[in-house]
Structures are given as structure tokens and as C-alpha cells.
Structure 1
Amino acid sequence: MNLFARPHYVSDATQFIDSLKAAKPTLEAEQRQGRALLWDRPVDRGFNAGANAARVDQKPYVYQTEPSLR
């Protein structure tokens, strides 16, 4: 037996999540719907290719101003 083993230990965070899921059984389905709204979208490869083609290289030193003509 492991000297540091804690039999039947459940952390406070796990207890909270389990009680939340028990109180609201539709929670996981609602989370999936919210994720689908914001993240699970089809990728428009044509738009991405156009955006990459239009990209302008950054100057080596961003804060350097153009030399002024005197």
C-alpha cells in the first residue's frame, strides 16, 4: 500500500462539479451548444488564403520612425 494514498478522496472542485451536474443535468448539452456557437465553425480556406496573401511583413524595429528629411 502506498504511504501517501488517500482512499476515497474526492477534491472540493470535483465535488462541486459533480453536484452542479446533478442539480442541472442539461449543463453539458448547453456547454456543447455554446461551444458550437463560437468555435465549431467551418473553415473558409479561400478567405484564409486571401488574408495570408495580403499580409504585410513587419519592420524589424516596430517603434523606429521614418527618417525625417531636413
Structure 2
Amino acid sequence: MSNSYESDITLFLRKYNKTHPLLKKQQIDGRQRLWDRKIEIDLLKEFDLSKVSQKPYVYQTD
């Protein structure tokens, strides 16, 4: 008798990954496209310098 239990979802995911071998590469490509980007320090500094200060109460009219 086997003591290891695998849920239906785990079995589905294992089977899905076997039938779709390109899935892992697509996931990595998607991550690189959206998250793994080089930060441009000069551009970030320009963004910080271009911020306009906000009043404590935004809806107050002068």
C-alpha cells in the first residue's frame, strides 16, 4: 500500500506538463517580458525630480 497521496489537481498538472512541453519556456519568457527588466537609474532619478508636491488636503480650494 502506498503512503503517498496526490490530489486530483496535482495529477492534472503533472499530466498537463507532460502533454505541453513548451509551457515552462513560455512561462519563463512571460516573466522576462514583464518582470526581469534592467532598471535605468538615470531615468528613475528624472522621474523623482519631476514629481509635483501635493498639498496635505487635495480637495481644498485656495
TM-score, normalising length from structure 1? 0.69
Quote how far apart the aligned CAs of 1:33 are.
1.1
Matched pairs, number:
60
When normalised by structure 2's length, the TM-score is 0.75
Q: Compute the RMSD of aligned alpha carbons.
A: 1.6
1:20 maps to 2:16 = yes
The structure with the largest helix share of the pair is 2
Please tell me whether Structure 1 or Structure 2 has the larger radius of gyration of its CA atoms: 1
Unmatched 5+ stretches in structure 1: 1-6
Q: Which runs of 5+ in 2 are unaligned?
A: none
Q: Does 1:45 align with 2:41?
A: yes
Secondary structure in 2 aligned to 1:8? coil
